[in-house]
Structure 1
Amino acid sequence: MASVVDDDECSPLLPSSDVGVIVETQQVHKSRWWSIRVMYLTMFLSSVGFSIVVTSIWPYLQKIDPSADTSFLGWVIASYSLGQMVASPLFGLWSNYRPRREPLVVSISILVAASCLYGYVHVPASHNKYYMLISRALVGFGSGNVAVVRSYVAGATSLSERTGAMANISAFQAVGFILGPAFQAVFTLIGEEGVTFSAIALQVNMYTAPSLMGAFLGIVNIILIFAIFREHRVDDHGRHVGSLNYEFEGTDPVRDGEEPVDLVAVISSNILFFIILFIFAIFETISTPLTMDMYAWTRTQAVFYNGIILAAIGVESVLVFITVKIVSKRTGERILLLGGLLTIWVGFFILLPWGNQYPSIQWRDIQNTTKHNSTFLVSSLSTSGNQTVEPVGCPATQAWCFYTPIIHLSQYITSDALIGLGYPVCSVMCYTLYSKVIGPKPQGVYMGWLTAAGSAARTVGPVFVSEIYTHLGPRWTFGIICGIITSSLMHLAAVYKRLIAFSVRYGKI
């Protein structure tokens, strides 16, 4: 019986276009795809580590340190991406020369420790906002393993498998974004006080419970990497090849092509990815402050409702990823990238304020309010007179609140739906095109660059939107974003013909 099983496991599973060449056995095929699935899970847990607190950062920041304003919120959210931007090229370079298990385990361990730190940022007597800033920066540094994950999947799949595998990675990332806000919405049931464990000075509440859960999931991820993950690398035809950090036994390595990578296509892909992540970072950052200003939601309401909305967008994104895998076989990646950018542009255009209805004004901490007529002041004060516990509404310190119409809830939800449709298409198409442009070259450093570009966008985006939104309001914010997307569409049109696979460019496929 054992010999029969062995014979079955050693039988060729995937035929090669070259007669007599065995691509891989059934046993190796299983090992390769189980390793890829562990990378899917790693991507999922990385996105959960970010999204599980994204809707609660602003109210938690206000609670632990009242001196923090929306400008500092931008820095807190950007710190995650800044840490990831620094770490991604380093982990990518590490993965090119050493077993990938090393950077994966180290990065996830950092993420676990940082998530635990986030649970204790309320303990110090002062400067709490800076402790939150440090914890989010370290979580981002630990999430720099995204470059390792994507470079491994790109190198472990053939050209025909890659679009589907990249779509699956993005789908798992989207599921992480779904469950993160959903978990946060559920944790609101614990309340702001929660349960305190005095022996270890830990307060488990609606703000800290999500980060502690992220730490637990990180530990599970480390265990799976040791138990299941193995190194594999194949060429564009699916034949196993050797690498600096892994040598497949029993297979003659196929020599990589010496042709250069198209640097124009590489740089253009990084620019487009930067813009896409920049726009989505703005969308993530602005959602909670925007809804609290426009609809006079409390901190708990903003966390709960935005958690539900982001979870719904995540479900939509998963459906988009499934569809993209099918549609891309007929249309190609470039046209889908173009369509995704156009959809995002429409989504932000819809967010532009219009009408003659204005937000409720929050008058806390205002001493002199002589810029507006007394009738308006009396009306506004009367609407906020019952808010004795937690002031709500658009802060009077933001001058635009007095002359900018509200963004209706229907506008906001419609925009969310369109952005939730366009962003996943753009994200997976960028990664897929980029990996195909690079071709058979080791992709650790290249993917580190791309991830760093995305992290830079997530660093700049929250700071940009916090400053512009605070001082100029949503009309200027979303108008500028529409202009940025228009410029990216023009850039894509200019480099459209160069975004082709390495093997296609040099006539190998």
Structure 2
Amino acid sequence: MFLSSVGFSIVIMSIWPYLQKIDPTADASFLGWVIATFSLGQMAASPLFGLWSNYRPRKEPLSISIFISVAANCLYAYVHLPPSHNKYYMLVARGLVGFGAGNVAVIRSYIAGATSLQERTSAMANTSACQALGFILGPEHRVDDSGRQCKNINFEEVSTDEVQVPQGNIDQVAVVATNVLFFVILFIFALFETIVTPLTMDMYAWTREQAVLYDGLILAALGVEAVIVFMGIKLVSKKIGERAILLGGLILVWVGFFILLPWGNQFPKIQWEDLHNNSIPNTTFGEIIITLWKSPREDHDEGPIGCPIEQGWCLYTPVIHLAQFITSAVLVGIGYPSCNVMSYTLYSKILGPKPQGVYMGWLTASGSAARILGPVFISQVYTVWGPRWAFSLVCGLVVLTITLLGVVYRRLIAFSVRHGGIQEQPS
């Protein structure tokens, strides 16, 4: 998980300039397909690797997926060599990298099978923390997995009563509901990641360079915040339970997006189109020199700044103040990791002691679908209707998700609690 995050975070920053360099015919719309192909590949591979791990040692799908990832990254590194159609080679390379990343389902299945109920939340939180660190730090990390079956991650001896497997059917309603919850959680964060750069450039008249720098710092800070949240979850979940944390995280996400709604009478700076005509302005030579001195030539290469006039909502939508944006980012940065780790922790407990490869594959596939649809949704709604409509719809979606959680709240319990009579933890 750590190495996968490191590789993804390194490559994602270079895709656009690399694509422009290897194939000048590629435009921004094709870039969207290149990015989405990763999630498409992961969505296709996750159920397959999960099914494979149910019937064969887990080291087999893990080894094959790693080999595919290495080969795909090598292809990505050399897509500039073919004489033509380079952008399509990059498209294939990113799709194969995503296919190799489908091993996330196997990893989560292994953790679920190698931990007891008491250890599950802590182990899942540690895994998510490693994933978040990979996005921030990027150092090398050595992974070792023997693929052996064990009763818990610490290889402790357990009593005969604990080894007995309770009999019963998996609660399919809880399974479907958790997949929906996981989809919405990743959908919301994917659209938040997507909208950060255009939103800050439109609202605060940041240049492309400023947006990349400042937004990168903000996302890195959110990564650090996520690691702290993951560590805190291990303690808090023992006191209030996973379901309560999931509910609280969704509420924080709703508050975060509600704060992002534009209010007030101040409007963003408008990015007017350049006027091209043959008229000669009534300007003295001295004024021209002063203007050139105050506006160095390199500044013109950055392009116009502000909210584009082509987006009609820029003329009547109030600005989202920087304090609003930072506050929202902090709240989403707390709510998202809480919901993320709690959703698949609960999911693994609902599935029980049976092999979870296929089910974890479907969960990962639902997350991949969310990362495909989220950016498409927010980019279309934001461009046409603006942030007020976009974030209002997100708030409505979160309310529906909280309602769904309330309906299935009592069903989101561990398999052994439902069928084995084990005492449920507080939540």
TM-score, length of structure 2 as denominator length: 0.84
**Could you tell me which residue of structure 1 aligns to residue 37 of structure 2?**
79
1:84·1:142 contact (CA, 8 Å) conserved in 2?
A: yes
The yes-or-no answer on 1:388 pairing with 2:297 is no
**Could you tell me which residue of structure 1 aligns to residue 97 of structure 2?**
139
**Could you tell me which residue of structure 1 aligns to residue 199 of structure 2?**
290
1:177·1:310 contact (CA, 8 Å) conserved in 2?
A: no
CA distance in 2, matches of 1:125, 1:390: 31
CA 1:78–1:240: 2 relative to 1, 3 Å: farther
**Could you tell me which residue of structure 1 aligns to residue 261 of structure 2?**
352
2:46·2:102 contact (CA, 8 Å) conserved in 1?
A: yes
Q: How does 1:109-508 map to 2 (within 5 A)?
A: 109-120=67-78, 129-179=87-137, 224-225=143-144, 229-234=146-151, 256-355=165-264, 356-361=266-271, 363=273, 387-393=299-305, 394-508=307-421
CA 1:257–1:140: 2 relative to 1, 3 Å: same
Q: Compute the displacement of 1:407 (Å).
A: 2.4
CA distance in 2, matches of 1:289, 1:132: 25
Deviates further, 448-457 or 44-53: 44-53
CA 1:116–1:478: 2 relative to 1, 3 Å: farther
Code of the residue aligned with 1:68 in structure 2: it is D
1:167·1:322 contact (CA, 8 Å) conserved in 2?
A: yes
Number of residue-to-residue matches in the alignment? 401
CA 1:508–1:89: 2 relative to 1, 3 Å: same
The 3-state SS of whatever aligns with 1:478 is helix
The 3-state SS of whatever aligns with 2:95 is helix
Q: Compute the displacement of 1:65 (Å).
A: 4.6
Q: Compute the displacement of 1:58 (Å).
A: 5.3
Q: Compute the displacement of 1:479 (Å).
A: 1.4
CA 1:237–1:301: 2 relative to 1, 3 Å: closer
CA 1:144–1:299: 2 relative to 1, 3 Å: same
The yes-or-no answer on 1:45 pairing with 2:11 is no
1:323-358: CA deviations, max 9, x gaps? 110011010110110000000111111222233221
CA 1:115–1:306: 2 relative to 1, 3 Å: farther
CA distance in 1, matches of 2:247, 2:205: 37
1:55·1:288 contact (CA, 8 Å) conserved in 2?
A: no
2:109·2:356 contact (CA, 8 Å) conserved in 1?
A: yes
CA 1:132–1:324: 2 relative to 1, 3 Å: same
**Could you tell me which residue of structure 1 aligns to residue 289 of structure 2?**
none
**Could you tell me which residue of structure 1 aligns to residue 46 of structure 2?**
88
2:53·2:106 contact (CA, 8 Å) conserved in 1?
A: yes
Code of the residue aligned with 1:426 in structure 2: it is C
Residue ranges of structure 2 left out of the alignment (5+ in a row): 278-293, 423-427
Residue ranges of structure 1 left out of the alignment (5+ in a row): 1-42, 184-216, 242-250, 369-382
The 3-state SS of whatever aligns with 2:300 is coil
Code of the residue aligned with 1:158 in structure 2: it is S
**Could you tell me which residue of structure 1 aligns to residue 27 of structure 2?**
68
Q: Compute the displacement of 1:235 (Å).
A: 7.2
Identity of aligned residues (%): 64
The 3-state SS of whatever aligns with 1:86 is helix
CA distance in 2, matches of 1:485, 1:157: 31
Deviates further, 462-471 or 479-488: 462-471
RMSD: 3.2
2:167·2:419 contact (CA, 8 Å) conserved in 1?
A: no
CA distance in 2, matches of 1:358, 1:144: 42
Higher relative contact order at CA 8 Å, sep ≥6: structure 1 or structure 2?
Answer: 2
**Could you tell me which residue of structure 2 aligns to residue 194 of structure 1?**
none
CA distance in 1, matches of 2:35, 2:246: 27
Deviates further, 442-451 or 119-128: 119-128
**Could you tell me which residue of structure 2 aligns to residue 32 of structure 1?**
none
CA distance in 2, matches of 1:240, 1:108: 33
Code of the residue aligned with 2:149 in structure 1: it is H
The 3-state SS of whatever aligns with 2:317 is coil
Deviates further, 78-87 or 144-153: 78-87
**Could you tell me which residue of structure 1 aligns to residue 285 of structure 2?**
none
Q: Compute the displacement of 1:111 (Å).
A: 2.0
CA distance in 2, matches of 1:461, 1:488: 15
Code of the residue aligned with 1:113 in structure 2: it is A
1:233·1:240 contact (CA, 8 Å) conserved in 2?
A: no
Code of the residue aligned with 1:410 in structure 2: it is A
CA distance in 1, matches of 2:25, 2:311: 17
CA 1:87–1:428: 2 relative to 1, 3 Å: same
TM-score, length of structure 1 as denominator length: 0.71
Code of the residue aligned with 1:266 in structure 2: it is V
CA distance in 2, matches of 1:298, 1:352: 23
**Could you tell me which residue of structure 1 aligns to residue 284 of structure 2?**
none
1:112-132: CA deviations, max 9, x gaps? 233344444566676655444
CA distance in 2, matches of 1:78, 1:173: 20
